Amino acid sequence: MVHEVLAAVLRVRSATVQVLLWRRALEPHLGRWSLPGGRLRIDEDVETSIRRQLAEKVDVRKLSHVEQLAVFSAPDRVPGPRVVATAFLGVVPTDVDPDVPEDTAWHSVDNLPRTAFDHRDIVLRARDRLRAKLSYTTIGSALAPASFTISQLRDIYSAALGYPVSATNLQRVLSRRGVLEPTGEIAPPGRSGGRPAALYAFTCNGVHVTDAFAVLKPPTRARQRRT
Amino acid sequence: MVHEVLAAVLRVRSATVQVLLWRRALEPHLGRWSLPGGRLRIDEDVETSIRRQLAEKVDVRKLSHVEQLAVFSAPDRVPGPRVVATAFLGVVPTDVDPDVPEDTAWHSVDNLPRTAFDHRDIVLRARDRLRAKLSYTTIGSALAPASFTISQLRDIYSAALGYPVSATNLQRVLSRRGVLEPTGEIAPPGRSGGRPAALYAFTCNGVHVTDAFAVLKPPTRARQRRT
DNA sequence: GCACGTTTTCGATCCTAAGTCGAAAACTTC
DNA sequence: GAAGTTTTCGACTTAGGATCGAAAACGTGC
C-alpha cells in the first residue's frame, strides 16, 4: 500500500489566506491544481518526508510551522492503486516570498481553482485548523514577520479569521499571555502621516498552546479537601 | 508499506483513567501489553478499519466516541518490515462494561505495565488529548453514562483531569453552554442519607467543539467600519 | 419525634480577562 | 499653524469562570 504525504502550505497576503498549489502535468486530473508532496520513503518518518519534499519541489525551506493535520484514506480517493495520505498544515510568514517553480502558484483558499482528488477537503481542513488555533496557541507567530506593528498584526489576524479584529484587544490579549513584547524600535510613519508605530515581536519560538486557555482549571489555592 | 490502525480506548473507572490493552502472545515483544488494532484492509478507510478491528477483537461495539489522534511513522517503530500506524482515541462510557477476551485488560494510564513498541507514547498522547478536549468540547458526554447526577459527573471530570473539580462550577459551565439538561428524574439517596440528587443528561449527540470558547471573537454589533 | 450528620442545590459574590469606546499623542501634508 | 491620519493608552463595560456559604432534603441514632 502506497503512503504519501501532502501539505497545505498557508500564508496571509493581500488580506486573504492563500495556499500553495501546483498544476498537474500528468493524468489523472491533468491541469488541475494539487497539493505539494509525494511518496513516503522507506527510511523517513512523515514529518521528515514532507519537509524534504517541500524543500525539493517548491523551494519552501523556511516554513515557520509544520504540523500533522489528518490521514485521508478513502479507498477511492485517487484512481488506480490505493494511496493513503498523511496531510500536513504548513505556515509561511507574510514577509517572505519564496521562489516557486513555474507550475506552482498561490491561490486564495476562499476562491480555489479546480483541484485534484480530495485536495480541496484538505485545504479547507487546514484553513479551519489555522483559524481555531489562532485562539489558543501562538500560531500567529508563524504567520507574522519577525517584527511588526500592532496594525500589521491586526491585519494578519483579521485576514486569517475572516472578520475584523480590534487592534487594542489583540495587543492586550497577546500581551497578557506574555507572548508579545516591544522591540524598542519605531516604524517610520506611512505616506499619509500618522503617529509612528512601535515595533513588536513574539517572545516565543515555535507554536505552542497557551496555558490558561482551558476552562475548569485546577484549584488555585491547593485546598486538599477530599474533593 | 504496511499500514496499521491502533486505538487507545479510554474510560474512567475507580477515579482513574484506564486504557484497554492486550497481552502479546507472539514475538516480538511477547508478553508486553499493546494497543488493539491491526492491518488496514484494501477496501476500507482508517476509521472503518479501527471500528471493525475493535468490534472483532475486543468486543467494544458501543464506543461513544472515536477520533483520529496522529500518525506514528518512525522507520524503526516496530522491528522488521516498515509499518506506519494511524492512532485513534476511543472513549467508552463509565457505565458500560464490555466483555473483553482473556488476554485483554484495563490498565490505569498513570501506572502502565510494560508496553510494546511505541504504544506508551500513543496512550499518553490520547490521555492528553482527552484532557484538553474536556475544556472546549462536549467529549465529557462520551465519558458519562446516559443520565447521571452532578456529583457523578464531577467525579468523572476530576478523574479525567487529575485534579478536583467543583460541582457547582461544572454544572454552571456546562449549563451555560447549553449541553446539560435535567431529566426530571431523581436519584435515590445514598446509604448515608443526604439530599437526593437530580438526574441530568447531555443534550448533544456526539462530540463537538463548543462555540464561544474562542478568543478574539467576531464583533457582536456588526460595525462595518473599514477596520 | 427531634437533634445531628450528610449530600445536594442554589444564590451571592469575587475575580480574571475579553470587548468596547474615546481621548490624547505623534506624525504628515497643505 | 490648521486639518487630517494613524497609533496608543486608559477607562469602562460585559461575560463567564471560581469560590463560598447557606438552605434544602434525605437518613440515622437517641
Region B125-141: what's the mean pLDDT? 94
B23: distance to nearest CA of chain A, Å?
A: 27
| C-beta separation of A115 from A28 below 8 A | no
Q: Would you tell me which CATH number, out of the four given (2.40.128.30, 3.40.50.2020, 3.10.450.750, 1.10.10.10), belongs to the domain A135-226?
A: 1.10.10.10
Q: Which among B43, B68, B163 is the nearest to A219, CB-wise? A: B163
Q: Which among B42, B73, B154 is the nearest to A45, CB-wise? A: B73
Mutating which of B215, B217, B224 best tests the A interface, going by the most A Cβ atoms within 10 A? B215
Neighbours of A23 (CB within 10 A): 16
Q: Tell me the pTM.
A: 0.92
Query: From first to last of its 227 residues, what are the pLDDT tens digits of chain A?
Result: 899 999 999 999 999 999 999 999 998 999 999 999 999 999 999 999 999 999 987 766 679 999 999 999 999 999 999 999 999 999 999 998 887 888 999 999 999 999 999 999 999 999 999 999 999 899 999 999 999 999 999 999 999 999 999 999 999 999 999 999 999 999 888 788 889 999 999 998 889 888 766 677 766 543 233 22
pLDDT of B179: 93
In strand D, the nucleotides that come within 7 Å of a protein beta carbon are 3-11, 16-21, 23-28
CA A51 to chain centre: 14
User: For every residue of A4-38, which 3-state class applies, written as one string?
Assistant: EEEEEEEEEECCEEEEEEEECCCCCCCCCEECCEE
Mean pLDDT of chain B: 90
Q: How many Å apart are CA A199 and CA A188, to the nearest integer? A: 10
Q: Is B138 helix (H, G, I), strand (E, B) or coil?
A: coil
Q: Where are the domains of chain B?
A: 2-118, 135-226
Contact B157 A216 (CB under 8 A): yes
Q: Which fold has domain A2-118?
A: Nucleoside Triphosphate Pyrophosphohydrolase (3.90.79)
In chain A, which residues have their Cβ closer than 8 Å to the Cβ of B83? none
pLDDT of B200: 97
Of B188 and A28, more confident? A28
Q: What is the pLDDT of residues B62-78, one digit of tens each?
A: 799 999 999 999 999 99
| C-beta separation of B138 from B151 below 8 A | no
β-sheet bridge partners, residue B3: B84
Does residue B8 register a pLDDT over 90? yes
Q: How many Å apart are CA B135 and CA B140, to the nearest integer? A: 9
A102: distance to nearest CA of chain B, Å?
A: 32
Angle at A213 between CA A209 and CA A217, to 5 degrees: 120
pLDDT of A208: 87
Neighbours of B40 (CB within 10 A): 26
Angle at B191 between CA B190 and CA B194, to 5 degrees: 50
- The residues of B between 142 and 161 with beta carbon within 7 Å of nucleic strand C are 149-151
Q: Tell me what percent of the residues of chain A surpass a pLDDT of 90.
A: 76
Contacts of B34 (CB under 8 A, 6+ apart): B21, B22, B23, B24, B115, B116, B117, B119
Q: What is the pLDDT of residues A36-78, one digit of tens each?
A: 999 999 999 999 999 999 998 776 667 999 999 999 999 999 9
Q: Which among A1, A164, A169 is the nearest to B1, CB-wise? A: A1
Region B167-190: what's the mean pLDDT? 91
Q: How many Å apart are CA B210 and CA B145, to the nearest integer? A: 20
Does residue B60 register a pLDDT over 80? no
Q: Using the structure, give the distance in angstroms from the CA atom of A98 to the C1' atom of C6, rounded to a whole number.
A: 69
B222: distance to nearest CA of chain A, Å?
A: 10
Closest alpha carbon to B38 in B55, B19, B63: B55
From the number of C-beta atoms within 10 Å of its C-beta (0-12, 13-18, 19+), residue B119 rates as buried
Closest alpha carbon to B107 in B31, B35, B18: B18
pLDDT of B21: 96
> Phi and psi of B182, rounded to 5°?
-70, 145
pLDDT of B214: 72
In chain A, which residues have their Cβ closer than 8 Å to the Cβ of B130? none
> CB of A220 under 7 A from strand D?
yes
Give the position of cell 447549553: B178
Q: Using the structure, give the distance in angstroms from the CA atom of A65 to the C1' atom of D2, rounded to a whole number.
A: 49
Contact A227 B164 (CB under 8 A): yes
pLDDT of A35: 97
pLDDT of A153: 97
